Structure 1
């Protein structure tokens, strides 16, 4: 299955471009306008809204959470999760072997521990004692069944590409709670595979399963009802291995328009509104009616330069474009200030991030000199963009005006929301780009290797590929980090991603909602994790 450049997984409309369109219901509501260490249970703090309460979790109540959805074609099959709403529903019902912490390092979930052999091409995973909703234990056979189902080449399951390093025909279950994964090559970051988006564990089955009518998982909530494009209702799983949720019930409702989500929140028809824009957050923050939660560093914002074709096949032109960017102005103009500047490297604040590299600043004089040396004075370039993602068209306009000050003429070309990610993967020379949270290793492997399927910058360098394999063959984390730093130094100097900022992801909550993790980028363990939330 092909992965696409804006997300940590392979689907064009994926998570960070959650579908727009008309509000599809809000249910029945009427809108008014590492070798595995235990992970501490999250959400025990007093996150979320700023209402009254002593900060201690309380049991009971139903929380209604509104997300943009996918319409009548939605499903509860966790292996088909693509949108934020899909992910929230899957997280309520199912578990993965691992998930990502705030720094995007893998944390154990159904896996109690993992241990590699000396060559890093075989990994022993020990499962914790956990049960499915029907009372049956989660076993190694269920894990292998789930992964083989995901890897089926006849299906379009999201995590299929992420599981590619595993030789599933050779992997086996020597004991009920032990899985021995045989890999095709040394993979030091194998826990990232276990945490891959959509790699949920389902019970082994001998035939087709109707997930929409009888989904059985091991997650914190049990299935009650599901109306695609409208509402899904779940109730507390008192036998959950990580402790029962505080809520009695969770309802995930669909409202594609941001205004519908905000109005429902203000009107008391929901308690949690996903994906608010910065202007909305500013209008309501500190006004005492709703709570605003900002998830920092949730979305990388960038321009992608094709390094295999003029003018960006010349590294001097790429460096000039790095120096043209006024990052503070881009964050202010395109993100309304809801974010922080970037330094042409992915994963600011994540594990392995090369934060010691000097912050790049605008230098129009140096940019002009580099363009002159490259014979690119008076350069004209087309910048492809689209309203497919918030801030894209605004950033394109801001950067166009910045480039003009260096003598570069940029023509902004606005493409289709429906086909943008496919269109810009191979065509054009310069485009707007963004990505959700994922490990730095995954960003490299999916986007920057010669055979990466979503190599939007066409960064093809065998010596860079060799460094990645060296990192994956290095068991010592300090030495491995040093290799990743070498790779990032090169990308910072001459790569194809002009990463100008990192956007906040913004949520709205009722003042009575507590326990929402404030430091959980989208796609991580504590994002949209409702088992740790309570109503004060």
Structure 2
């Protein structure tokens, strides 16, 4: 099934229904980055408690879709949302993503590049593992070298590729010098990479008694059923409010919803829009919408007819009624897109005109391209929510411009592995990642996952220029230039950004509402409490 395939597999670009997207990290400014808190604008769910202050105690039960008896607590193998939620409760990374998908310091207290941007010194904060040992530079290097093991399929392996781990070294107990293979202005992206958790040197057995530096300590784990963790009173970022945290596996959305409604759990992950509409503002449970969590698009192969003609691609941009797609395919649970990834994220080119349907212009472009009576096959699948609905809606929109779109529905099991690359036009989805990571992983000539076959040497050169640019504003200007090019002639028709929907009991407080899925404050249970 699709949610059992490793998400760092280069064939899987999308945020699958039960998966968790791997990426290459977040973005941050250069120079020494001082230690900062990363809580963000955390809002209470439900009515405020009498004094408005967090309360200590209790066990929160959180329901996630799971992976069956093969589940593991090895943080470097985390593929599912449930895996990652458990991993971030037990372990820490050097950095993680803020609401804008820029890197924020975690176990790293500061980072500093050299003039050439190919050596970075990372200073560690004072933190300890659950067994009392301090987190050291040796633990960091062991963790990264373990992830990079060519014999293993650890999820962050591709993200760590810029590092020369043989040349990198521990300067002292709390300083790591990373030697890079090339200038990398946004090296903090690597530190924040999905799955790049720090484990104790020599750690191998994670399912019997895992030891991390995270906010909760291990109590018990039954793969495919439940995991119980207890508060880490010595946590460097402050002890959690909860006494205990229990992860409960409930694979069906209806089972998670019913468990929440029946009081068997206090937190239910990944609810569908119909459930949200039925229960929002009804008083029994609280619906939390994490905005801009999943890009929704159609991917056009830019090297295959008819989409090797940029006029045809522009015509397709102008056929799409994005609001109708969001309302129909996402049941309104999202925002319209503008043919660019990362709405609301750092570097997003938000100043470009919002595209709206222009059928006359679309017909004119098709006529100039000699494609007046064009027929195109659109590949879709029930592999992701909204795919089949979006395909049907766009088929009818294209017909108004004189284009015949034939919808072909493929298997969930082979969509990401075979179908995505076989055709010329397909449904596509991606979870949150930095815009830099989206470009490096999907839009360069040598990108491992390039669904649109966008391969341009001058575009590659702009990316290298951005990564060699020390000044934040100058680098942002390069990214803006790249996005203007994609907006004009790229292969992603980005029609929307879907909400990620959670449900909580009315007495749950502290759930972050401004954090997209995949970011630091998503599923951050150390900041949640029970009123």
Give the TM-score, by structure 2 length: 0.95
- Where does 1:363-512 land on structure 2 (aligned, <5 Å)? 363-512=358-507
Superposition pairs of residues 73-222 of structure 1, within 5 angstroms: 73-205=70-202, 209-222=204-217
> Does 2:69 align with 1:69?
no
2: distance between equivalents of 1:6 and 1:336?
Answer: 29
Q: What's the secondary structure of 2:459's corresponding residue?
A: helix
- Alpha-carbon deviation of 1:416? 1.2
Counterpart CA distance in 2 for 1:209 and 1:350 is: 36
Residues 336-375 of structure 1: pairs in structure 2 closer than 5 A = 336-375=331-370
Q: What's the counterpart of residue 18 of structure 1?
A: 18
Task: Check 1:13–1:114 CA distance in 2 against 1; reply closer, same or farther (3 A cut).
Answer: closer
Q: Report if aligned partners of 2:7, 2:155 keep a CA contact under 8 Å in 1.
A: no
Residues 12 and 449 of structure 2 are in contact (CA less than 8 Å); yes or no, is this contact kept in structure 1? no
Give the SS at the match of 1:17. Answer: coil
Question: For residues 15 and 265 of structure 2, what CA distance do their matches in structure 1 show?
Answer: 21
Q: Quick one: distance in 2 between partners of 1:9 and 1:180?
A: 29
* Alpha carbons of structure 1 residues 53 and 410: separation in structure 2 relative to 1, 3 Å: farther
Alpha-carbon distance between aligned partners in 2 of 1:70 and 1:440, rounded to the nearest angstrom: 29
1:6 Cα shift? 12
| CA distances 1:276-312 after superposition (whole Å, capped 9, x unpaired) | 1111001000100000101000000000000011010
Q: 1:232 aligns with which of 212, 222, 227?
A: 227
Classify the secondary structure of the residue corresponding to 2:218: strand
CA distance in 1, matches of 2:14, 2:326: 23
Secondary structure of 1:318's counterpart equals: helix
Conservation of the 8 A alpha-carbon contact between 1:15 and 1:83? no
The whole-number CA distance in structure 2 between the counterparts of 1:416 and 1:54 is: 53
CA RMSD of aligned residues (A): 1.8
By how many angstroms is 1:430 displaced?
0.4
Aligned 8 A contact 1:49 1:292 in 2:
no
**Aligned-pair CA distance for 1:49:** 2.8
Structure 1 position 57 matched with structure 2 position 65: no
Gap change, CA 1:334 and 1:101, over 3 Å in 2:
same
1:275 is paired with a residue of what secondary structure? strand
Task: State the Cα distance separating 1:418 from its structure 2 match.
Answer: 1.6
Please say if residues 202 and 216 of structure 1, whose CA atoms lie closer than 8 Å, have aligned partners that are also in contact: yes
CA apart distance, 1:52:
4.4
For 2:370, what is the secondary structure of its paired residue?
coil
Equivalent-residue separation in structure 1 for 2:151 and 2:478 (angstroms): 37
| Unaligned segments of structure 2, at least 5 residues | 20-28
Structure 1 residues 121 and 184, CA, compared in 2 at 3 Å: closer, same or farther? same
SS, match of residue 239 in structure 1: coil
> Is residue 49–residue 514 contact of structure 1 (8 Å, CA) maintained in 2?
yes
Query: Deviation per CA, 1:62-86, whole angstroms, max 9, x where unpaired?
Result: 0000001111110000000111000
Cα separation, 1, equivalents of 2:69 and 2:94: 30
Deviation for aligned residue 1:12: 4.1
Task: Answer yes or no: is the 8 Å Cα contact 1:6–1:434 preserved in 2.
Answer: no
In the TM superposition, 1:300-339 aligns within 5 A as 300-339=295-334
Give the conservation status (yes or no) of the 8 Å contact 2:379–2:420. Answer: no
Q: CA deviation at 1:46?
A: 4.2
Superimposed CA distance per residue, residues 473-494 of structure 1 (whole angstroms, 9 cap, x where no aligned partner) = 0000000000000000000000
Contact in 1 for aligned 2:8/2:155 (Cα 8 Å): no
Normalised by the size of structure 1, how large is the TM-score? 0.94
Shift of 1:10: 5.0
Q: What secondary structure does 2:427 align onto?
A: strand
Mapped to 1, the partners of 2:153 and 2:506 lie a distance apart of 40
**Partner SS, residue 69 of structure 1:** coil
**C-alpha displacement of 1:44:** 7.9
Matched position secondary structure for 1:159: coil
Q: 1:41 to 1:477 in 2, by over 3 A?
A: closer
Q: CA deviation at 1:117?
A: 0.4
Cα distance in 2 for partners of 1:41, 1:186 equals 27
Shift in Å, 1:54? 3.2
Q: Counterparts of 2:492 and 2:13 in 1: how far apart (Å)?
A: 21
Distance 1:346 1:528, change over 3 A: same
User: Contact between 1:166 and 1:184, CA under 8 Å: does it hold in 2?
Assistant: yes
Q: Structure 2: how far apart are the matches of 1:409 and 1:5?
A: 34
SS class of match (1:158): coil
Once structures 1 and 2 are overlaid, which stretch shifts more, 249-258 or 423-432?
423-432
